[in-house]
Structure 1
């Protein structure tokens, strides 16, 4: 069973049902039923047109559900005649579905969570990690969002800012390596940039391209993480970097700065440095100041502390870090790095080991464990 194929087809199948008149919650249930049926049937009898097969089965499931529910009989006028099975239309409705999920009846956070679950195909746990909240909290948020939209027709497009947040989180989930959604997020953002003349859309596309350009260098052959400073910059995709910088410069020239443009500017400064030692950390700190002003995000301030440590020395970085809540994800890892830079190897080794226990994934845990072991070995010499 090709699970990647099913994941890639799910958004467009869901979009077809919504476009035909199915309410979103009912459409999602029908698509999930079709996916279960595909897992059962396809290994022995794979269809020639997988998307068409899923659309046909999901639509029938929706019709069955609508006809069986007396409270939904009014929908029969919309679904009285079942479309003749056949090849699915080639139109890609996925981007439109992102807009439909950013519905005015939902808060931005609920719209993002619902879209990531229903359209992006992420699990509740993955969405919770992206939001930095407990899984149970996110499950409740998604359930409330579904209840909110259960009787709402998705005929009003949502806010661009919410759609951008969705695409950004989908890209980050793909970039982490847990799910390969980064390329899909870039594709959708390209479509959005072509359809909407908005500097923040361009800024997000530039940010994605600049980060994705480094993807090949982020891991070693054994799968271990390679920190930015140690990456082989010859493996960076120079064409993606050039495109990202060009898009960013055009967006910044419009003098309507937003958070994605600011993040892209930081990524561009990293990409512009021939070596890690030549990175313009002073400018990066200035951009983090702009980003903190725009977002007031504690994660931004955490990253700023690292930049301050590079620009003004590790003790300045530690002073900036001291002002932040030590329960922030990766706070302990940043503290370990700055203490190592300051020459306090014992404290750094202890903090690296502590950070490893808090790591959100195996690759990061292994990396931090190796850092602790490396420093302990140096201390024993």
Structure 2
């Protein structure tokens, strides 16, 4: 969710709460004002009726509402000694509505010619349910208007204010430390954004310096190791060729050569793993995974025939993916090589593609492997000559391109590589 929409959501919730509380307070305040106004009107009508009584005594005989808005009824003194003006709500049948409707009633007592009379004056009043309904509709339209105004404000005014921030996010999204490029920040009058731009530029510069230093160290260390190793191997091979050695001496030198070659492979694998993790394989292209698998199976055909193994390919789905081709080859080289190398002689290896997933399965004397350690560095299944980096390299490549590399055991070892679906 975008920042502007996120804040709008909270504005909407807060406004709803505030308007609800305000509506309740306003409703009771408005009712109080309405009642006060009606009571003042009833008081005025009472005074007018009493004035008319003094002018026309016949009015004292009006003891039913009928066509009027008041009634007068003679009462005894003992019944009205403590009676004060009384305002209350009641219901009265209205002919135009053909139903009982709420009215406001004033009961009062006045004296005329030594006699006491009870006066009732009525006036129609606002129905509370209608008042509540009108208030709810008014609040609803007010709420929608405010929300629309906030959204309009966010997308026109505030979006422009936040433009330097979004510009920075866009630059960071496209930033590649390998390309040695600087990000472009937008000048702004907002102090916090200027501070953020400055701090991010400093942080990126430190990261670039650290990356360059690490990259140079790895390359230099690898080069410095490769050179003496190659010289040592060449000199030992020349020594064997130029000297007559007995069988025991040859075995000892062969063991030394074997260890030196293992160290050479280990050094190359570590360098490759570091380059992958440091994202030094920048070039990408549309790669046909099926073609890579077919070529690798053909390359390993001699190896598989030597172990009397059959490689069965069922490439139902043509999978293509945007990635570095060399890394794609390394990924599937390690998986197919492991399947053949650790597979049981005379067994079958199956490679399938379906639903954007590549399945590579093989039978082996080994039982289920430890999933939590399988893709870690220097984890070896059983081969002492292995440097334990093959699956770690494959995992690093998969993580680099968000591929789902997994393993499970179901009477055979199955490695899966899941590609993002289109």
TM-score, structure 2 length as denominator?
0.19
Whichever structure has more helix as a proportion of its residues is: 1
TM-score, structure 1 length as denominator?
0.21
For the pair shown, the structure with the greater C-alpha radius of gyration is 2
